[in-house]
Amino acid sequence: MSANAELVFQIFISIRRNPIMKLTPLADRVILKMVETEETTKGGIILTGSAKEKPSVAEVISVGPGGNVDGKDVVMTVKPGDKVITSQYAGTKVTLEDVEYVVVRQNDILAIVE
């Protein structure tokens, strides 16, 4: 194994043992944690996650600062702790410390659940 490959391997092992990564959204991005919802059909079949073709419910974990995005001022209207509805296929999935998050733009959020 080359010296560079050995160094990369050691860094990888160190990160796996001591995860120090933190997700901080930029601009109009929002970090969501999906909330599992359950539905039962009339026949008693339980539909979960991927079996449903409906919008997804998520909890807002972190919110970017907003600001000027694509020449327009964006004011962030969601805050950490909000429950929101988003399209099932919106955003980018990221796994951190065995927890899956989705990073979306604020305009990908369809509604705030109150």
Residue 63 lies in a domain: yes
83 CB neighbour count, 10 Å cutoff:
15
Instruction: Quote the pLDDT of residue 41.
Output: 66
Total domains in the fold of the chain: 1
Contacts of 92 (CB under 8 A, 6+ apart): 102, 103, 104
Residue 89 lies in a domain: yes
DSSP single-letter state for residue 45:
P
As a whole number of angstroms, the distance between CA 85 and CA 78 comes to 12
DSSP single-letter state for residue 50:
G
CB 68 within 8 A of CB 39: no
Residue 44 lies in a domain: yes
Residue 9 lies in a domain: no
Residue 3 lies in a domain: no
Domain that holds residue 42: 23-113
Residue 77 lies in a domain: yes
As a whole number of angstroms, the distance between CA 91 and CA 104 comes to 4
Q: What is the CATH number of the domain that holds 59?
A: 2.30.33.40
Residue 95 lies in a domain: yes
- Please indicate whether residue 18 or residue 65 has the higher confidence score (pLDDT): 65
Residue 5 lies in a domain: no
Say yes or no to pLDDT of 10 above 90: no
pTM of the shown model? 0.70
